[in-house]
Amino acid sequence: MPENTKVPAATSAGTDDLIELGRISGAYGVRGWVKVQPHSAQADVLLSLPEWRMARSAAPAKAGQGPTPAPSFASTAIYKVQTSRPQGATVVAQLAGIADRDQAEALRGMAIYAPRSVFPEPEDDEFYWVDLIGCTLYGEQDGAPVLLGLVEGVLDNGAHSVLRVARQNLNAAGEPETVLDAKGRPAEVLVPFVQAHVHTVDIANRRIDSDWPLDY
């Protein structure tokens, strides 16, 4: 597995297989351009689309609740993209019908979605964020695999991807249950998604194996 994986999407798809690519963070300039914060450093899919499907997504789920589902095609609004380009770590775009700063600001917080069919097939040992979310992550204790929890998000720290994992333990019945921290809140752990720690990724069986210690 390469140190830097191809990961242009971060949010789980819904029943229509929509994947969230990023969110509008505000206006850019005074002529109706919008600024978008992509969900990874690679915004190729976002920049290649002739139109954006947009919706006001629900707030991200809390730890232990799983990823926030994407909306259906029917609940999204379509905006034609007149032009778009990278702008530092963001993307800026001019959308048809958005002519001034006030109109652009009104789109702040809108999530941008695309169907999975527009994504190219990843190469060997490359993974889309959307495929990692929902996988069960196992670490290592005394040389044996041990349940760490459920991958609920993927972050990009600039150097590599990081798995955001809701901690779980197995109860007496052998079923996973949420681990709470000292304040009674769902516990989380961040695990670097790099070859040094992540050994196997089995998307078909929704399982990731690593050497991450249970007590880290």
Round to the nearest angstrom and report the end-to-end CA distance of the chain. Answer: 23
User: In 3D, which of 5, 68, 3 has the Cα closest to residue 203?
Assistant: 5
Say whether both 177 and 138 belong to one domain. Answer: yes
Its domain, for residue 35, covers 18-118
List the chain pLDDT tens, one digit each, 216 residues. 433 333 333 333 333 578 888 899 999 999 999 999 987 655 788 899 999 999 986 554 444 444 455 666 667 899 999 999 999 889 999 999 999 999 999 999 999 988 888 877 777 778 887 789 899 999 999 989 999 999 998 887 778 889 999 999 999 998 999 999 999 999 999 999 999 999 999 999 999 999 999 887
Say whether both 28 and 88 belong to one domain. Answer: yes
Task: Determine the Cα–Cα distance for residues 105 and 64; give it in Å rounded to an integer.
Answer: 33
Query: The domain that contains 157 carries what CATH number?
Result: 2.30.30.240
Structural domain includes residue 13: no
DSSP structure string for 92-111 = EEEETT--SHHHHHTTTT-E
Task: Determine the Cα–Cα distance for residues 54 and 86; give it in Å rounded to an integer.
Answer: 19
Find all residues with CB under 8 Å of 109, minimum gap 6, and list them: 23, 24, 56
Say whether both 159 and 136 belong to one domain. Answer: yes
Say whether both 198 and 171 belong to one domain. Answer: yes
The pair of structure tokens assigned to 75 is: 């609940």
Say whether both 52 and 114 belong to one domain. Answer: yes
Number of structural domains (the chain) is 2
Task: Determine the Cα–Cα distance for residues 163 and 201; give it in Å rounded to an integer.
Answer: 13
pTM attached to this predicted model: 0.65
User: In 3D, which of 75, 79, 68 has the Cα closest to residue 13?
Assistant: 68
